[in-house]
C-alpha cells in the first residue's frame, strides 16, 4: 500500500456554445488557479479543437476529486460533461512525475 496520491485524467466536454462558456471563463480560471495552488492540478489546458479541456490531477481518491471538481463554475452552471480516468504512470519523462512512479 502506498500513500502516494492517484493520478487522474479529467476530460471536460462543453455542453453549451463557446459564447456561453466565455461568460464563466474568468470564474473557471480562478477555480483552476486555486486547484494549482492547492497542489491538485499538475497540467491543464483546452482541447484542440476547442470542444472542452483536459486536466492531469492528483488526489487521494476519486471521490475527493469529484467533490473538488463540483466547485468548478462550469460544473455548477451545468456547462460541461466530465469524466475521470485514474491511472498509474509506468513510464514518464525522467523527473517529470518522480513523486508518483
Q: Specify the 3-state DSSP secondary structure of 78.
A: coil
Question: pLDDT grade, residue 56 (50/70/90)?
Answer: very high
| CB 100, CB 3: distance < 8 Å | no
- CATH of 6-87 given 3.30.70.1060, 3.40.50.300, 1.25.10.10, 3.40.50.1110: 3.30.70.1060
pLDDT class of 83 with cuts at 50, 70, 90: very high
**Helix, strand, coil fractions of the chain, as percent rounded to 5:** 30, 30, 40
Give the start-to-end residue ranges of the domains of the chain: 6-87
Average pLDDT, the chain: 91
Check residue 4 and give its pLDDT. Answer: 76
pLDDT top residue among 2 and 92: 92
Q: What was the pLDDT predicted at 88? A: 86
Amino acid at each position: 500500500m502506498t500513500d502516494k496520491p492517484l493520478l487522474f485524467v479529467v476530460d471536460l466536454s462543453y455542453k453549451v456554445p463557446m459564447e456561453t462558456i466565455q461568460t464563466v471563463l474568468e470564474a473557471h480560471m480562478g477555480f483552476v488557479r486555486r486547484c494549482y495552488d492547492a497542489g491538485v492540478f499538475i497540467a491543464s489546458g483546452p482541447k484542440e479543437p476547442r470542444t472542452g479541456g483536459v486536466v492531469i490531477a492528483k488526489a487521494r481518491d476519486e471521490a475527493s476529486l469529484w467533490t473538488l471538481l463540483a466547485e468548478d463554475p462550469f460544473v455548477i452552471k451545468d456547462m460541461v460533461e466530465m469524466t475521470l480516468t485514474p491511472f498509474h504512470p509506468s513510464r514518464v519523462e525522467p523527473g517529470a512525475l518522480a513523486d508518483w512512479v
